[in-house]
Chains A and B, each alone.
Chain A
Amino acid sequence: MKRRDFLKNTVVTGTAGVLFDACAPPGSDQIIPILIPEEEFIPGVEEFHPTNCVECPGGCGLLARKMDGRLVKIEGNPAHPISRGASCARGQALPQAMYHPDRVRGPLIREGARGAGQWRNVSWDDAIERLVSELAAVQEDPNNTLAFLTGALRGHRLDMVRRFTSTLEATRHLVHEPFGDGAVLRAHALTTGVEEFFAYDLENANYLVTVGASVLDASRSPVRFGRGVGHLRQGRPGRRGKLVAVQPRLSTTAAAADEWLPARPGSEASLVLALAHVILRDELYDTGFIENRTSGFEEFRARVLADFDPELVAGMAGVSVETLERVATEMAMYGPTIVVAGDAAVTGPRGLGTAVAVDHLNALLGGFGKKGGIFFNQDPPFSEWPSLETVVPAPEALFANLTKESDASSGIRALLISDTNPVHTLPSSAGIDSFLSEIPFVACFTSFVDDTAQMADLILPESTPFERFDDDVPSPSVGIPVATLSAPMFSRPLYDTMSMPDVLLRVAAGLGGTVAEAFPWASYEEALRAAWSGLHAASRGSVAESTERRFWTRALAAGGWWDEDVALNADCLTSDGLYRFELPALESIGLDMTAAGDTSRFTLYVYPSTAFGDGRSAHLPFLQELADPMTSVRWGSVVELNASTASELNISDGDLVEITSDTGSLRVRAQVTQGLRPDVVALSAGQGHGEYGRYARGRGVNPFSLLQATTGSDLSEAPLQATTVRIIKIEETS
C-alpha cells in the first residue's frame, strides 16, 4: 500500500514544545494542577506524532494522532520499515494506556507490609533521595550487590542500564523475558556468530515454515510477519507462497497457515532434522552454499542420515512419514524457503537443539544471504557515549539464577526493576517470592502497579512512550539498519512521571563521583541526541541533513532513521566466517521420547496471547473485550482440550475443571476443540494478574503458576511445554 497522503499533516513538537496540553481528567486527584488552559490547539486539526511501540519485541514505529490536545488514535508509521503504516490490536489499544484510570500518578513509597498495596505519595525529590541513599549504601559495603532486573531492552534504554550497571560497583544485570526465545539467540551465536534475531526476506520467499513460533499473532514481530506473509500469499501476481506451522496447538498462525503439523511437544527438533534427512538423502540441498560457506557439513550429514530417518521420527512426533517427506521435498523444490523457530518449542531442555536444528535446515536450503532468505541485522552507526574504564556485567537470565542450587538473592541488597513483571511471568515454583523477600530494598520503574510492583518498596512512575524521549533498534529487523525515535507529544506528562533513563541520570547525579561523571547529560534527550549524532555524521539514510540540529528535528519528525540503500548481508561472524553445522547442541534432543506412560497426565502448553502477549497488555479494556481469535474468549481464560480427550474425561464445553501440576493447581472453564493434540492441554499466558489495574486484576488464570522450574537448568526462560498436568471436572453446586 502506498503512503497515505493524508498523513502529510505530520507536525512535530520535538524542539519547539510550545503547546500546553491539559489532559486533565475531571474529578481525578492528581499532583499537577487540573486545568491548564489550552493555549494553542485548533479544533478539528489533527497532528501525527511519531512514537515507538514497546508492547512486544516487534518494535513498530507508530504515529500517534493528537486531536484537541489529546491522544486519540494510533496508526502505523508508513515510513517505518517494520510497521510500514500498519499496526496490531495491542498497538491500537495504546491510547487507553495513556489515559488509564489506574496509572501511577506520582512516586509511591510503601506503607505497611510488602504486597499489602498501601502506598504513600512522595515527591520526586524524596524518591530520588531515597534511591540515592539506598544505592550509596550498596556501594559502601563490598559484600552488597545491586541488581538491575529488566526485560529484554534495546536501543539506548539498554545502553543506559548497562552503563549504570557498569559504573556502579558490584552490580548485576538480570534479564527476564518469559517468551524471549533466548535459545534462538544462543543457537544463532553458535551457528553464525551473530547473537541477534535474523531478518527474513519474507516478501520474496515462497515457503515459510514456523517451528513453534506463532509469528502471525503474538510472537516476536507480528506486524512485520503479517505483512510479509500477506505479501508472500497474494502480493505477487502469479505466485502464491505457502505457510506451514509446526505447533501442538492450532494457534491463529497455524489456522491461517496452509498446513498444520501438530507435532508432539518436544519432538520439534527431531522433526526438523527428519526434514533435513530427506533433503540430505535426496541431495536437494544447496550445494553451492554448503561447499563454499559452511563448515562441519560432513559430520552433520552423517549424523542426520543415521539417526533422523522420518520412519523413526514420525511415530514419535505424531506427524506421518508421507507428510514429512512431502513437506521436506516442497521446501527444497519450491523455495526460496525460510524456517523460523520460537515460543515453547525453543524452551526447555530441547529448546537449544530445536533452534540449532532450524538454523541448520535453513543452511541446507541455502537461504542465508539470498533473496527470499535470511539476513543479519545491521546496527545503525550511533556515536558511542564516552567510553568507561569499567566492565559491563553480562546479562544473566533471572530464571536460570533462580533455579540454580545456590541462593539466588544472596548478597543482593537492592533491586531495581524495569520493563518486566517476573512475579506474574515466572513459575511460582521458581521462587520469585522468596527471592524478593530476601532483598532489603526493591524499587520498580513502572506506569502501573502490577504484580511485581506490588511487592516493591518504592515505585517510580514511568512516563508512557507518548510522554518521553526514547529510541529503539527493532530486533528482529529487516536487514537494514533501523532506529526508531520518539519524543513526547505533549509539553508535559499527564501525571508526575519521569522516564526511567531520566531517573537514572538524576540518581547518578545524586551519587556523585565517578558515577555522575559517567552520565554527563542533563537529560536522556541529550544523551540520545549525542548518540544519534553518529547517524547524522553518516550522512546517509532516510534523514541526511547538513547540520546536526536539522538532522535531529527531521529525525524526530520522521520517527527515526533507517537506511534502505544498505546492501543486505549474511556474513557470518564465526572465527572463519563460515556457517558452522554445530553438533553438540543436538545431543540433547534424542529420540528417546517414550510415549507418556501415564495417560492421565497431559502436557501443558503455554503460549503468548494475541491480545495480551505475555500479559503486559492485559490492563487495557479494549484488549480484554477482544474476542480471542481462536477461543473467542473475552474478559477471561479458558483451558483448551482436544475433543476426544474431553469426551474420555467426560468434560463438556464450558465445564469448570481443575488443572493440577506438581507445583500448583488452578480452576478454569474448559473449551473443547479439534485444534489441539489429544495429549496436550493449552492455556494462554496473559491473564491471572493479582494486580494490574481494575480491568486485569483477578481476572482469568495464570498458567505460570503451574509450570515446573527444574533446578540447575541454565535456561533463560521457563520451559513452556515440559510440564505435565492432570485434569478433572469440578461439579458445580450452584
Chain B
Amino acid sequence: MPTWGMSIDLDRCDGCEACVVACRAENNVAPAGPEQAAIGRAVEWMRVERHVEGEFPNVRTRFVPVLCVHCDDAPCVSVCPVSATYENPEGLNAQIHPRCIGTRACAQACPYTVRYFNWGTPKWDAPLEQTINPDVAVRWKGIMEKCTFCVQRIRRAKDEAREDDRPIADGDVQPACAQACPAEAIVFGDLDDPESAVSKLSESPRAERPLEELGTGPRVFYLKEGDWRGSVGPQSSD
C-alpha cells in the first residue's frame, strides 16, 4: 500500500502560480469574487506564499507553494467532533464532505492554515459550470474543503493499473499542481517506495519538513533554495 507524499523544490519554484490555477480547475474550486476575496474568503487549495526580507536593493524573496501537507498526526483529525476528516490507509488526510457540520475547529487547529470553509454556496455564472470536472464533487455551503492530493487521479491511476494488471508505477499519479508546474518543482509519489523520485528527494540534504518540530508528521517536504557561490561545482544540488 503506497504512502503518498510530495516534494516541492523551492529552488525551482519561480512563483508563476500555474499550480494554483491548475488545482482550481481540476478540483472545481469556484472563485469567491471580488468582494469576498477582499475580506479573505478566497479558497485556494494550493496557494503561493511570498516571503520577502531585506531592504532595497538587497531584497531576498522566497516563493513557497502551500497546500495541505497530509499530516501523519494531524491536528485537524483530533479536533473534529464528527470524524469528518481522517487519515486514510494511504496516508491521505481525507475530508468527508457529507459528514462535516462546519464547526471549523479543524481550520483553527491547522498550523499551516490550509483548510478552507465554504462561507456561501460556490457560484458559477452560467455556463462556466460546464468546466466542472465530474471526477470531483462540488461542495456546498457550510462545509470544509482542502487539498486531497488529487485523490480522484490516484483512483483513476489505480483503476487503470488494475485493468492492465500491473502495479502503479512511479509517475503514474500526477496531481494537477505537479503536472502543470513548468519548473518541475513538484514531485509526487510513494514515500514507501525507496526507488520513487519523491523518496529519493526526501533524502536530499536540502529537504526539510514544514513545522516538523510540531510533530504533525507532514508528508510534503520542501527542498531549500540552493546557493550559487561562483563555482561550476554546486553548493546544494542533488
Say if A and B assemble together: yes
Q: Which residues of A contact B (CB under 8 A)?
A: 1-2, 4-6, 23-28, 43-44, 67-68, 70-76, 83, 85-93, 95-96, 98-101, 206, 216-217, 222-227, 229-231, 233-242, 250, 252-253, 255-256, 258, 260, 262, 330, 333-334, 610-611, 621-627, 629-630, 632, 634-636, 642-644, 674-678, 694, 699
Task: State which of B16, B17, B156, B237 has its C-beta within 8 Å of the C-beta of A240.
Answer: B237
Q: Which residues of B contact A (CB under 8 A)?
A: 9, 11-18, 20-22, 24-26, 31-34, 37-38, 42, 44, 47-48, 50, 52, 54-57, 59, 61, 63, 125-135, 153, 156-157, 160, 169, 171-172, 174, 176, 179-185, 223, 226-228, 230-238
Q: Is the CB of B237 within 8 A of A238?
A: yes
Q: Is the CB of A262 within 8 A of B57?
A: yes
Q: A190 CA to B124 CA in the complex, in Å?
A: 51
Provided the pairs A87-B18, A634-B42 are in contact, do residues A240 and B228 lie with their beta carbons within 8 angstroms?
A: yes
Provided the pairs A93-B25, A255-B15 are in contact, do residues A678 and B56 lie with their beta carbons within 8 angstroms?
A: yes
Q: Is the CB of A6 within 8 A of B157?
A: yes
Task: State which of B34, B169, B227, B235 has its C-beta within 8 Å of the C-beta of A636.
Answer: B34
Q: Is the CB of B31 within 8 A of A624?
A: yes
Q: Is the CB of B237 within 8 A of A234?
A: yes
B14 to chain A, nearest CB (A): 4
Q: Is the CB of A234 within 8 A of B126?
A: no
Q: Is the CB of B128 within 8 A of A1?
A: no
Q: Is the CB of A68 within 8 A of B34?
A: no
Task: State which of A71, A242, A256 has its C-beta within 8 Å of the C-beta of B228.
Answer: A242
- Give B37's nearest chain A residue, CB to CB: A634
Measured between beta carbons, the chain B residues less than 8 angstroms from A635 are: 33-34, 37-38
Q: Is the CB of A100 within 8 A of B130?
A: no
Task: State which of B48, B56, B172, B179 has its C-beta within 8 Å of the C-beta of A676.
Answer: B56
Measured between beta carbons, the chain B residues less than 8 angstroms from A88 are: 16, 18, 180, 182
Q: Is the CB of B15 within 8 A of A629?
A: yes
Q: A627 CA to B228 CA in the complex, in Å?
A: 30
Q: Is the CB of B237 within 8 A of A625?
A: no
Q: Is the CB of B12 within 8 A of A233?
A: yes
Q: Is the CB of A68 within 8 A of B179?
A: no
Measured between beta carbons, the chain B residues less than 8 angstroms from A74 are: 25
Q: Is the CB of A87 within 8 A of B22?
A: yes
Measured between beta carbons, the chain A residues less than 8 angstroms from B127 are: 23-26, 28, 99, 101
Find the residue from A24, A96, A677 having the highest chain B CB count within 10 A: A96
- Give B226's nearest chain A residue, CB to CB: A240
Measured between beta carbons, the chain A residues less than 8 angstroms from B15 are: 216-217, 252, 255-256, 629-630
B208 to chain A, nearest CB (A): 15
Q: Is the CB of B228 within 8 A of A241?
A: yes
Q: A44 CA to B134 CA in the complex, in Å?
A: 8
Measured between beta carbons, the chain B residues less than 8 angstroms from A239 are: 232-234, 237
Measured between beta carbons, the chain A residues less than 8 angstroms from B181 are: 86, 226
Measured between beta carbons, the chain B residues less than 8 angstroms from A28 are: 126-127
Closest 7 CB pairs of A and B: A25-B127, A230-B183, A226-B182, A255-B61, A635-B34, A256-B14, A92-B21
Find the residue from B126, B183, B236 having the highest chain A CB count within 10 A: B183
Q: A6 CA to B131 CA in the complex, in Å?
A: 21
Task: State which of B21, B228, B237 has its C-beta within 8 Å of the C-beta of A237.
Answer: B237
Supply 17 A–B pairs (Cβ within 8 Å), ascending by A.
Answer: A27-B126, A68-B134, A73-B26, A74-B25, A89-B17, A98-B130, A217-B15, A226-B16, A226-B183, A233-B11, A237-B238, A240-B228, A240-B234, A256-B61, A610-B16, A626-B21, A675-B52
Known contacts A72-B131, A86-B182, A98-B131; 11 additional CB pairs below 8 A are: A4-B172, A27-B126, A28-B127, A73-B26, A86-B180, A223-B182, A227-B182, A234-B237, A256-B14, A634-B37, A674-B54
Find the residue from A83, A206, A230 having the highest chain B CB count within 10 A: A230
Provided the pairs A6-B157, A67-B134, A71-B131 are in contact, do residues A622 and B231 lie with their beta carbons within 8 angstroms?
A: no
Q: Is the CB of A234 within 8 A of B12?
A: yes
- Give A236's nearest chain B residue, CB to CB: B237
Q: Is the CB of B21 within 8 A of A256?
A: no
Provided the pairs A72-B133, A239-B237, A242-B228 are in contact, do residues A625 and B183 lie with their beta carbons within 8 angstroms?
A: no
Q: A216 CA to B133 CA in the complex, in Å?
A: 29
Q: A252 CA to B16 CA in the complex, in Å?
A: 7
Q: A699 CA to B134 CA in the complex, in Å?
A: 32
Measured between beta carbons, the chain B residues less than 8 angstroms from A6 are: 153, 156-157, 160, 172, 174
Provided the pairs A1-B171, A5-B169 are in contact, do residues A625 and B37 lie with their beta carbons within 8 angstroms?
A: yes
Provided the pairs A258-B228, A625-B31, A634-B37 are in contact, do residues A4 and B14 lie with their beta carbons within 8 angstroms?
A: no
A72 to chain B, nearest CB (A): 5
Q: A548 CA to B194 CA in the complex, in Å?
A: 47
Q: Is the CB of B134 within 8 A of A630?
A: no
Q: Is the CB of A4 within 8 A of B55?
A: no
Q: A4 CA to B175 CA in the complex, in Å?
A: 11
Provided the pairs A28-B126, A87-B182 are in contact, do residues A626 and B59 lie with their beta carbons within 8 angstroms?
A: no
Measured between beta carbons, the chain A residues less than 8 angstroms from B31 are: 621-622, 624-625
Q: Is the CB of B54 within 8 A of A101?
A: no
B134 to chain A, nearest CB (A): 5
- Give A91's nearest chain B residue, CB to CB: B18
Q: A253 CA to B52 CA in the complex, in Å?
A: 14
